[in-house]
Chain A
Amino acid sequence: MKKSVFFGAFAATALVSGMALAGTLDDVKARGELICGSNTGLTGFGAPDASGNWTGFDVDLCRAIAAVVLGDATKVKFLPTTGETRFTALQSGEVDVLVRNSTWTYSRDTELALDFVAVNYYDGQGFMVKKDLGVSSAKELDGATVCIQTGTTTELNLADFFKQNNISYQPVTVQDDSEAQRQYLAGACDAYTTDASGLAASRATMPDAENHIILPEIISKEPLGPVVRHGDSQWADVVRWTYYALLIAEEKGITSANVNEVAASSTDEEVKRLLGVSGDMGAKLGIGNDAFKNAIAAVGNYGEIFARNIGEGTTINLARGLNALWTQGGLQYAPPFR
């Protein structure tokens, strides 16, 4: 039974606890499965559906990484992590990569010994108010009661914003998004503040969505992206370039539907290198040459992932905004693939 594992593990602890972690890439290959630290459930970004399949914007990036490393996008185990456990789960090696709406900040990057390898979603904190409040800018919220989740960076951002604009507010602290939505709808607070993507999802599911507006001010930068352990550059490269491959695919118009066709017919050298038709690019990273092709075939390019999970046309209905490609006025920019 598991008791043997228990005793064995304790006996072995003394012997091997000093050993450094082997390369994550080799670990994942040996295990035959990627363990991806995911959210405990965030609309549009990562949650299991009624039959237990994980779907979402972040989930698709995990699947892409699995497709790159193992050639199979289904070989992912999603380990739900909470706001408290996420970074420790990564540090202790319980997960290989964390794709869980984590904001890239200075102290997380340095003190926590983590590496944020890319930004897959540029978010920012916004406000939602009822239309009949007659407010069109966050600066008019003087004296308002604001619903805010405790223990998040949004709480600090809020304090900064109101202080800078020399206006006052009254916080109504809530525990999570569902409670916030409930309080806001019940009229316990005039405004609800959290990441703009979260506001959009909340608004989309309100019984009277047309009576609520999201104010234009975005008061903070929330670059969200995949995180890996510090000091394993090879693995960081794998995650980073998986993500860039999805961006390049969108830039070059490669989709999950036409990837095989493009691989066969394209004359673009960068595309040929990306899809493993020419050159020996995969080997430099310790993965197969057709690895990125597998990823694109499995989950599609960045634009497809965005459109499928959170983009315009879904209930959440987020515009690309900052997350458009650099060629379309956004911030998503991948270095050249050569």
Chain B
Amino acid sequence: MSETHAQTVTYVRDSMLPPAPPPVGERGAVKWLRENLFSSPLNIALTVLGVLIVWWLVSASLPWWLNSVWNASSLGQCREIVAASAGEGATGACWAMVRERWHQFIFGFYPPSEWWRPVLAFGLLFAALAPVLFAGQKRNLTLILGGVLAYLVVTLYLAGAPGVAFALSLLLVAGLLVVAQVAPGRLLWFTLIFPALCFWLLWGGSIWSPIVAMAGFGVLYAVFRFGSPFIGLAPAAGAGVVAAALWWLYIDHAIADRLQAALPFAIEAVRSDLFGGFLLAIVIGVTGIAFSLPIGILLALGRQSDMLIVKTLSVGFIEFIRGVPLITLLFTASLLLQYFLPPGTNFDIILRVIILVTFFAAAYLAEVIRGGLAALPRGQYEAADALGLDYWRAQRLIILPQALKISIPSIVSTFIGLFKDTTLVAFVGLMDPLKGVTQIVRADINWKGIYWEPYIFVGAIFFVICFGMSRYSMYLERKLKTDHR
């Protein structure tokens, strides 16, 4: 091309000029600043204002952070150290309080010699969650289980776990790792037995009581399985529940006691009033989350049901629980229930609180999931009918997977809300990390007058946990995204 033109049209350039860089105002940081911060008089004003506010915040709080004291035995000593290092009148954070009392923020009054038990339970919680969170993904499962293994090696060593427990737990996680390579689906079995294991680790006592209690579910399943061909699904399920209830009421204790007498194996029992701090928050939060989701799904389905009694009960339950503040329910759990119980019964306060927190979250979840169900096009229901699926199969295979997917952000919001609401148990005298433990720390004459430090410490831990939940929900949304919007 250029050959011919070179001869005929002499003023036509035959080679490309190298591209000139854009003008200074149109590239790099300057362009970004111009477009984002100084694009109009209003934006200029807002930018200046924003910078001033940030400057003011930083200049007010930075010295406080920089003058942090980590080694002191009282607030007064902290102040002396700050005054000595930064001059009279300077302020500084006194993290020495966290250093001295961190264990109460984490474990409450849980006996120090048994700290390895909640630590182990916390690690195994992730091992139990992994197959649920990352079903069948070998790589992620291996990563998580490997992380749990590393975590346990370090923390169990630090917490001074007895050698046998140390070896057994590492063996257990290593076994799970192997299972994850061979048959990832089987890991769900560990998730199923984890609640009993966790209960036993945290509260201690005879190993037979959780085992025999779990056997109640076995009874339920057996009755359901062998009964359903003869009397139909629903009656068999009902009979199973009755049989399991009878098991727990009358047979459970006797068998557990006999087994304990025959093959005694127990660890030190820890009473509920020793639980506190994040141990308490996580126990209530995780149990509430785990149980409220299935209950919430059932309630949402019940509310849409055509059966009058089921529908009325579901609506009544949801509206009643949602219409009452959580604190009222907590007061009911802590005070009112005690009036109805026979004198002398000690029905564990943490259990009472967990039950009502679970109900509370379940009522909210039911409405969230109902929103998801309502968002599904009518055609999906009709398609399920057209395929000849019965109600439960249609729900399980077609309706719920879509409805739950739609509701993921709201479900996780509810979970995060539930987890943060666990701090409200302070109002019934339980040692939650935010108010309960902070208050006893402040009641110590050495730390009286400390204000921001406990809040910041507790707030940071809450943030990490809630942020983790939020990131996971975003990951899940991306993974399950099947539409092409």
A contacts, CB < 8 Å to B: 1-9, 11-13, 15-17, 19, 21-22, 27, 39-44, 46-50, 52, 77, 79-82, 84-85, 88-89, 92-94, 176-179, 181-182, 201-202, 204-207, 314-316
Nearest B residue to A18 by beta-carbon distance?
B342
Q: Known A4-B252, A40-B429; judge A13-B109 contact (CB<8 A).
A: no
What residues on B are CB-neighbors of A178 within 8 Å?
A: 442, 448-451
What residues on A are CB-neighbors of B79 within 8 Å?
A: 207
Which of A1, A77, A79, A204 has a CB less than 8 Å from the CB of B445? A204
Nearest A residue to B91 by beta-carbon distance?
A207
A201, B343: Cβ atoms closer than 8 Å: no
A201, B448: Cβ atoms closer than 8 Å: yes
B249, A8: Cβ atoms closer than 8 Å: yes
What residues on B are CB-neighbors of A9 within 8 Å?
A: 341-342, 345, 347
- Please classify the interface of chain A as helix (H, G, I), strand (E, B), loop, or mixed, using the class held by over half of its residues: mixed
What residues on B are CB-neighbors of A2 within 8 Å?
A: 347-348, 351
Interface residues of B in 266-325 (CB under 8 A from A): 271, 273-274
Q: Known A178-B451, A315-B445; judge A89-B335 contact (CB<8 A).
A: yes
Q: Complex formed: what's the CA distance from A232 to B218 in Å?
A: 47
Q: Complex formed: what's the CA distance from A205 to B449 in Å?
A: 7
Nearest A residue to B247 by beta-carbon distance?
A4
- Would you give the shortest CB distance from B46 to chain A, in whole angstroms? 29
What residues on B are CB-neighbors of A19 within 8 Å?
A: 342-343
The list of the 5 closest CB pairs from A to B, nearest first, reads A41-B443, A47-B443, A1-B213, A92-B338, A41-B440
Q: Known A4-B249, A85-B428, A315-B445; judge A50-B101 contact (CB<8 A).
A: yes
B342, A205: Cβ atoms closer than 8 Å: no
- The answer to the question of B331 belonging to the interface, with a C-beta cut-off of 8 Å to chain A, is yes
Which of A44, A49, A81, A316 has a CB less than 8 Å from the CB of B429? A81
Interface residues of B in 183-197 (CB under 8 A from A): 196
- Would you give the shortest CB distance from B424 to chain A, in whole angstroms? 12
Q: Complex formed: what's the CA distance from A4 to B216 in Å?
A: 11
What residues on A are CB-neighbors of B340 within 8 Å?
A: 13, 17
- Would you give the shortest CB distance from B104 to chain A, in whole angstroms? 7
The contact string, 1 if C-beta is below 8 Å from chain A, for chain B 429-445, is: 11100001001111111
- The answer to the question of B245 belonging to the interface, with a C-beta cut-off of 8 Å to chain A, is yes
- The answer to the question of B427 belonging to the interface, with a C-beta cut-off of 8 Å to chain A, is yes
What residues on A are CB-neighbors of B271 within 8 Å?
A: 77
B245, A1: Cβ atoms closer than 8 Å: no
27 A-B pairs (CB sep. < 8 Å): A1-B213, A2-B347, A5-B345, A5-B347, A6-B347, A6-B351, A9-B347, A12-B341, A12-B342, A16-B343, A22-B344, A27-B344, A39-B443, A41-B439, A41-B442, A44-B445, A48-B440, A52-B274, A80-B436, A82-B429, A92-B335, A93-B338, A94-B335, A94-B338, A178-B442, A205-B76, A205-B448
Nearest A residue to B445 by beta-carbon distance?
A315
- The answer to the question of B253 belonging to the interface, with a C-beta cut-off of 8 Å to chain A, is yes
Nearest B residue to A27 by beta-carbon distance?
B344
B248, A3: Cβ atoms closer than 8 Å: yes
What residues on B are CB-neighbors of A44 within 8 Å?
A: 445
- Would you give the shortest CB distance from B283 to chain A, in whole angstroms? 13
- The answer to the question of B334 belonging to the interface, with a C-beta cut-off of 8 Å to chain A, is yes
Give the interface size class of chain B: 35 or more
- Please classify the interface of chain B as helix (H, G, I), strand (E, B), loop, or mixed, using the class held by over half of its residues: helix
Q: Complex formed: what's the CA distance from A187 to B428 in Å?
A: 33
What residues on A are CB-neighbors of B341 within 8 Å?
A: 9, 12-13, 17
B442, A1: Cβ atoms closer than 8 Å: no
Q: Complex formed: what's the CA distance from A17 to B426 in Å?
A: 28
Nearest B residue to A92 by beta-carbon distance?
B338
What residues on A are CB-neighbors of B166 within 8 Å?
A: none
Q: Known A4-B253, A5-B347, A9-B345; judge A43-B443 contact (CB<8 A).
A: yes
A1, B345: Cβ atoms closer than 8 Å: no
What residues on B are CB-neighbors of A48 within 8 Å?
A: 104, 109, 440
What residues on A are CB-neighbors of B109 within 8 Å?
A: 48, 52
- Would you give the shortest CB distance from B287 to chain A, in whole angstroms? 12
A22, B343: Cβ atoms closer than 8 Å: yes
- Would you give the shortest CB distance from B114 to chain A, in whole angstroms? 12
What residues on A are CB-neighbors of B104 within 8 Å?
A: 48, 50, 52
- The answer to the question of B210 belonging to the interface, with a C-beta cut-off of 8 Å to chain A, is yes
- The answer to the question of B75 belonging to the interface, with a C-beta cut-off of 8 Å to chain A, is yes
- Would you give the shortest CB distance from B110 to chain A, in whole angstroms? 9
Nearest B residue to A55 by beta-carbon distance?
B444
A201, B429: Cβ atoms closer than 8 Å: no
Q: Complex formed: what's the CA distance from A5 to B256 in Å?
A: 14
What residues on B are CB-neighbors of A4 within 8 Å?
A: 213, 248-249, 252-253
- Would you give the shortest CB distance from B129 to chain A, in whole angstroms? 21
- Would you give the shortest CB distance from B432 to chain A, in whole angstroms? 11
What residues on A are CB-neighbors of B448 within 8 Å?
A: 43, 178, 201-202, 204-205
- Would you give the shortest CB distance from A95 to chain B, in whole angstroms? 10
- The answer to the question of B11 belonging to the interface, with a C-beta cut-off of 8 Å to chain A, is no
Interface residues of B in 93-114 (CB under 8 A from A): 100-101, 104, 109
- Would you give the shortest CB distance from B405 to chain A, in whole angstroms? 33
4 extra interchain contacts, Cβ-Cβ under 8 A, other than A4-B249, A92-B338? A79-B429, A89-B334, A178-B449, A205-B76
Nearest B residue to A316 by beta-carbon distance?
B445
Q: Complex formed: what's the CA distance from A17 to B245 in Å?
A: 22
B429, A85: Cβ atoms closer than 8 Å: yes
Q: Complex formed: what's the CA distance from A316 to B429 in Å?
A: 25
What residues on A are CB-neighbors of B407 within 8 Å?
A: none
The contact string, 1 if C-beta is below 8 Å from chain A, for chain B 446-460, is: 001111000000000
The contact string, 1 if C-beta is below 8 Å from chain A, for chain B 328-362, is: 00010011101111111101100100010000000
Which of A5, A40, A52 has a CB less than 8 Å from the CB of B439? A40
Which of B216, B331, B348, B451 has a CB less than 8 Å from the CB of A182? B451
Q: Complex formed: what's the CA distance from A5 to B350 in Å?
A: 13
Which of B76, B331, B445 has a CB less than 8 Å from the CB of A43? B445
